[in-house]
Amino acid sequence: MTTTRRTLLAGSAAVATGALLAAPEAQAHSRPSPKPKPTVVLVHGAFADASGWNDVAARLLRAGYPVIAPANPLRGVADDSAYLASVLATLGGPLVLVAHSYGGMVTTNAAAGNAAVQALVYVAAFVPDEGDTLLGLQTQFPGSELNDAALDFRPYATGVDGYIKKDAFRPVFAGDLPRATADLMWATQRPADTRTLGEPSGTPAWATIPSWYLVARNDRVIPAAAQRFMAKRAGAHVREVKASHVAMISEPAATAALIERAAS
């Protein structure tokens, strides 16, 4: 073989080898970056706090979702919604809002007009339309056992707070949880200002944002019939579980699965 021919072959081999080595790198650069997962914002309702989301949050964190569970002030629909809206304004990227009970009233108002919110998830929650009140939605269908007889009222400087009585807490609020767990929840419950019951809701975010709903069939706070009515009116994707009002605690896997579905 001549020197010239050997040189040409060596050069061709070098070019081919370089092309093969460069191919994976080029392919890697051509692949689109994975879409970032949305931040999941978990909003609790009255007579509860953010710890009610612990098992759900743990599942979402393991699945790679950023999660935040801010404290809901429970001082009134307008005030609580404005507070949550201010929290949302500090969060970057797409958001999925998840609400339990009265938290649904708050998220429905706080998310209105926020382009970052890509989905709303309601877990045994109120889904108000404009002008609706908590009391109106709760009593529209028979079956709620959260009434004046189940509550203690404690005045404070500018209003009156409502607490669920100890003997009513487990059967009304958390009937499928162990008694020791329900007793602890009763002892640490956060009350809501009673003015929230009659405060009308504003323009609903669900009119422009897709929604999902987890119906708790054994709910004694918001009757299942009321939940189905609100979910249907909002055009929500619905799943049902055999659970008490605190479905996110007794059915965390089903709750987290619905949130992931909404997030995807």
Answer with the residue of higher pLDDT: 65 or 30: 65
Residue 110 CB coordination number (10 Å): 27
The answer, yes or no, to whether residue 7 has pLDDT greater than 60, is no
Choose the weakest-confidence range: 27-31, 48-52, 196-200, 224-228: 27-31
Tell me how far apart the alpha carbons of residues 163 and 142 are, in angstroms, rounded to a whole number: 22
Residue linked to tokens 């045994």: 124
Per-residue pLDDT tens over the stretch 192-234: 999 999 999 999 999 999 999 999 999 999 999 999 999 999 9
Alpha helices in the chain (DSSP H): 3-30, 54-62, 77-88, 103-110, 134-139, 166-168, 179-187, 224-234, 247-250, 252-263
The answer, yes or no, to whether residue 14 has pLDDT greater than 80, is no
CA distances, 97 to each of 29, 38, 58, 212, 241 (Å): 34, 10, 16, 10, 20
Q: What is the pLDDT of residue 12?
A: 43
Domain spans of the chain, in order of start: 39-263
Residue linked to tokens 């953010």: 50
Nearest to 230 by CA among 248, 218, 214: 214
CATH topology of domain 39-263: Rossmann fold (3.40.50)
Answer with the residue of higher pLDDT: 21 or 67: 67
Counts for the chain of helices (H) and strands (E), in that order? 10, 9
Per-residue pLDDT tens over the stretch 148-160: 999 999 999 999 9
Residue 155 CB coordination number (10 Å): 9
Distance of CA 146 to the CA centre of its chain: 23
Per-residue pLDDT tens over the stretch 91-143: 988 999 999 999 999 999 999 999 999 999 999 999 999 999 999 999 999 99
Confidence of residue 30 (pLDDT cuts 50, 70, 90): low
Q: What is the pLDDT of residue 92?
A: 85
Confidence of residue 36 (pLDDT cuts 50, 70, 90): confident
Tell me how far apart the alpha carbons of residues 61 and 225 are, in angstroms, rounded to a whole number: 32
Residue 103 burial (10 A CB sphere; 0-12, 13-18, 19+): buried
Percent of the chain residues topping a pLDDT of 70: 88
Confidence of residue 31 (pLDDT cuts 50, 70, 90): low
Nearest to 161 by CA among 200, 201, 196: 196
Q: 46 near 73, Cβ under 8 Å?
A: no
Q: 91 near 116, Cβ under 8 Å?
A: yes
Choose the weakest-confidence range: 15-19, 53-57, 68-72, 246-250: 15-19
The answer, yes or no, to whether residue 20 has pLDDT greater than 90, is no
